[in-house]
Amino acid sequence: MPRDRPFSHIFYILTSLISLLLVPTFATSLDISGPLISFEGNIPFKYQGNTYQTHYKLFGNILDKSRTPIVVLHGGPGLTYDYLSPFSDLSTTYKAPVILYDQLGNGRSTHLRSAPASFWTIDLFVNELANLISYFSIEKRFDIAGHSWGTILGMEYAIRKQPKGLQHLVLSDGLASIDLWGQSTGQLLQEFPPWVAEGMMAGMSEPPQFQAALLAFYAVHGNRVVPIPADYNATLQWLFGPNGDGTVASTSILDGWTIIDRLTLLKPKTLVINSRWDISQDFVIQPLVSKIPKAKWIKFNNSSHMPFWEERSQYFRAVGEFLSN
């Protein structure tokens, strides 16, 4: 492996030793909780002549080539990976290395508050994902799971790059076009008092109103777990907290977006997921199910937009089974 890759054999031997001996001095960089080993770091990402940092968190052993690594794409655009922490379940129950990362502009990755609006494009995030996959040297064999906006990123990456090593694509609580998403949101908001629709409409132009509306709407259609999980709250804090950064959440990169006419170009086996109370209602994902050549559909009966929290064990059993075939 090239020298700038983080996982040399020496590193692997070290982590194996540490996991056996639980050397306490490494506790700050290495989180050891039972059999779960995780590691965090930054990946240099060169784009348009500048170098940025993509922050990742890896669960499991990336050097175990008998297991296919899974890269998980967070929602937004403009959220962070914190709320996707349940995906680490796949590294224990299904023994797959799991890579979570903060997309550029968010969380622990480089923030670019003063970048011009034209800087933010789907192409940027597709290239960042390709850079991460090449950094870990997993091009030959890997899986992708996207959530919400992450399904857009995963599909766009798969269509634009046609990566030969991509085995499975999990599209969780996604959408086939922004128009269908808007129709669904508008329809569901009719069940709420007007201030919720107004706050949702204002978006990041009025962060406090938006946050209040989002929490009210998401309590029914986003994540029904009570009280809200700490990791989900952590993601919201990156957006709405005292140092919150709404730069990426405020971009208009999805205006007019649709993938309906390109879905036949998706080659990997694909699992489409939605849930009973989801913003991704059946009509929002229906083109994915009917037009992606190798699509399978699962619907969770007691979840909304985050079944990996709301029906966690059933969710990862279904995803693990899909990834095994």
Ligand X SMILES: *[C@@H]1O[C@H](CO)[C@@H](O)[C@H](O)[C@H]1NC(C)=O
Q: How far is the CB of 316 from ligand X (least distance, A)?
A: 12
For the chain, strand residue ranges (E) read 30-33, 36-47, 50-59, 70-73, 98-102, 142-147, 166-172, 269-275, 295-300
Is 278 marked active-site? yes
Q: Can you tell me the distance from the alpha carbon of 108 to that of 60, in angstroms, rounded to the nearest whole number?
A: 21
Q: Shortest Cβ distance from residue 237 to ligand X (Å)?
A: 5
Can 305 be counted among the known catalytic residues? Answer: yes
Which residues are at the interface with ligand X (CB under 6 A)? 224-225, 227-228, 233, 237, 298-302, 310, 314
287, 297, 284: which is closest to 261 by C-alpha? 287
DSSP classification of residue 262: G
- State the minimum distance, in angstroms, from the CB of residue 207 to ligand X: 15
The residues, any chain, with a CB within 8 Å of residue 243's CB and separated by 6 or more, are none
Closer Cβ to ligand X, 267 or 312, answer by number: 312
Are 200 and 216 spatial neighbours (Cβ–Cβ below 8 Å)? no
Compute the distance between CA of residue 221 and CA of residue 180 in angstroms, rounded to an integer. 16
- Pick 267 or 317: Cβ nearer ligand X: 317
The two tokens of residue 221 are 């259609």
Q: Give the nearest distance from C-beta 99 to ligand X in angstroms.
A: 25
Q: What tokens were used for 27?
A: 């506790």
Q: Which is nearer to ligand X, 165 or 208 (CB)?
A: 208
Task: Please state the closest distance from residue 275 (CB atom) to ligand X, in A.
Answer: 9
**Is 55 in a helix, a strand, or coil?**
strand
Catalytic pick from 148, 172, 275, 304?
Answer: 148
* Catalytic residue flag (residue 205): no
* Closer residue to ligand X, CB minimum distance, 182 or 241: 241
74, 168, 278, 303: which one is catalytic? Answer: 278
* Of 19 and 233, CB closest to ligand X: 233
Can you say whether the dihedral through the CA atoms of 119, 123, 126, 128 is positive or negative? negative
CB of 231 to ligand X, least distance (A): 10
Residue 37 or 284 with smaller CB distance to ligand X: 284
List Cα–Cα distances, 89 to 60, 119, 185, 197, 313, in angstroms: 10, 35, 30, 35, 9
Query: Going by DSSP bridges, is the β-strand pair 98-102/30-33 parallel, antiparallel, or unpaired?
Result: unpaired
**Which are the catalytic amino acids?**
148, 278, 305
